[in-house]
Chains A and B, each alone.
Chain A
């Protein structure tokens, strides 16, 4: 069974952490992953940096630029991760934009993920229809779970469609924003969380965007299965490097 599905079947709320590979230092990737697992994180999203991250706010943009300046490439990331399964057992997802995957070759990319022990992908700018028409069979061939996003503006009909097409979890974007933009949740988010919970979707939902501390984590996971922290963790890395990662994680849960 895919590690993501196994994790989702556990009777607990999930903390998922995103970080940009190659940031703050080029070779921090494995250290960060090991530290996150040791700190009790449930799921890790390894960000493949891209020059033009459209859905990201300034924090993740800057970390991506820095990672690329440090020399991160798709191949280097795969090389860094080559023996990662000797060290950690929690689910690992690669998150990034579609163009670097397309240039590496979609099938080659998926094969490499399987070889390393990557469990899934999140590619926000690969739309559902394109995925289903051209890439789904390849993802499935290599046992990769693809995760789609929904937002407060996504229509109920499209949410149903995305639910049908998903076989892991749904990435529930908390508000209409780029990453790291909003602080705290208002009535609008609470209504949205209620509305999605009442849809009784077959896939659990994990909330992302705007989770930065225990308060927002608690609010997001009242109904959803878990929450994703990205920009807040990047800021932690920016200020503290790879030390004290467990302090950060403990402050969330």
Chain B
């Protein structure tokens, strides 16, 4: 079985482009052009150069010695937290802004949850001198104030999404509505592997630099390209798609996806889509999503704004239903504890999103000689307020 997208835009039975006709010309233009444009030599040259000189790639693959000792296995951290802007999100925004320029677009819109994708979008818009509008849920604006300030400093307009649960789902709705109202001059930079085809594949390809580097770095350090496991947190799933990408069709590499259980899967306050979701349509994609029996999309909950999404990218939905991926859910409490533990053991303050991935070592045992690569997708600076109030620091 192949776990990449097929020519019709599907991963198994998930994916497609369930969009109103108003979006068809834009999405179709992207579909027809994204592979051609991104494989052009001039595109690749500019993309690679910016990833190196501006983002700071390659990011280190760091052997977490004390953490490994504690859990009696071998844990490498892929240090996406060291990317410019503080998370992996910028890999994708660099790629999409170069694509947008080549499509002749001069106005950029984006949605954001934790604010990391919004900051990464505002950053590349400043870099390229393009107008930038970021939609962000009203609740997220409150809990991620530093990132809102960053976006403003970078010249972006931050528009609060006040409908529904006032979080990432609603910010995405507002961004889609903006695109419907501005179909000609605007490119929508989606931040995750969600949305209508070709977005999930396009974003996954831009993020695939993560596993491409991991292969080379692991070969240097361990004499082998393939770890035994790759681990990542999954909200929409872009950092996960990045660390899985070159391992998707290598069955000897275990794929572990970590979702946010929130206050617990059965509490009604959770964002663990694989456990609670059912196939449906969200934001133009057929995928697993949390919904009522009547097909109304329900409001998720997680302490981490970046995982607070009721769906999951179609690639991940397929990894789950096919059994290729092992899905684990982690509560707020366990994630917060794991985040603090990484600070104490390794001197690294992780984003709360990434802390979910680190928390699995308390639940799931690995063999002593296993090599486990965890994608440390972002740094915790943006979460300081949450850490402070949670631990009474």
Is A73 an interface residue when CB atoms closer than 8 A count as contact?
Answer: yes
Interface residues of A in 140-171 (CB under 8 A from B): 148-151, 153-155, 158
Q: Classify the secondary structure of A's interface with B.
A: loop
Contacting B294 at CB < 8 Å: which of A74, A148, A181? A74
Contacting B18 at CB < 8 Å: which of A126, A150, A151? A126
Residues of A within 8 A of B281 (CB): 97-99, 102, 125
Check if B280 sits within 8 Å of A99, measured CB to CB. Answer: yes
Is A177 an interface residue when CB atoms closer than 8 A count as contact?
Answer: yes
* Distance, CA A75 to CA B295, complexed state (A): 12
Is A212 an interface residue when CB atoms closer than 8 A count as contact?
Answer: no
Check if B295 sits within 8 Å of A102, measured CB to CB. Answer: yes
Check if B296 sits within 8 Å of A51, measured CB to CB. Answer: yes
Contacting A103 at CB < 8 Å: which of B180, B181, B295? B295
* Distance, CA A18 to CA B18, complexed state (A): 22
* Distance, CA A126 to CA B21, complexed state (A): 9
- Tell me the minimal C-beta distance from B172 to chain A in angstroms: 9
Count of interface residues, chain B, beta-carbon cutoff 8 Å: 33
Inter-chain contact count A-B, CB under 8 Å?
Answer: 107
Is A197 an interface residue when CB atoms closer than 8 A count as contact?
Answer: no
Contacting B291 at CB < 8 Å: which of A98, A99, A101, A158? A99
Residues of B within 8 A of A181 (CB): 181
Instruction: Say yes or no: A55-B20 contact (C-beta < 8 A), given A103-B280, A153-B184.
Output: yes
Instruction: Say yes or no: A154-B25 contact (C-beta < 8 A), given A99-B282, A125-B19.
Output: yes
Q: Please name the residue on chain B nearest to A101 by beta carbon.
A: B295
Is B177 an interface residue when CB atoms closer than 8 A count as contact?
Answer: yes
- Tell me the minimal C-beta distance from A91 to chain B in angstroms: 22
* Distance, CA A95 to CA B280, complexed state (A): 18
Is B173 an interface residue when CB atoms closer than 8 A count as contact?
Answer: yes
Pairs A–B under 8 Å by Cβ, sample size 24: A52-B297, A54-B19, A54-B173, A55-B20, A74-B294, A75-B294, A99-B295, A100-B294, A102-B280, A126-B18, A127-B21, A130-B16, A130-B18, A149-B22, A150-B21, A151-B21, A154-B24, A154-B25, A158-B24, A176-B22, A176-B180, A177-B181, A178-B177, A178-B181
Given contacts A51-B298, A151-B21, 4 further A-B contacts (CB under 8 A): A68-B296, A99-B282, A100-B296, A103-B278
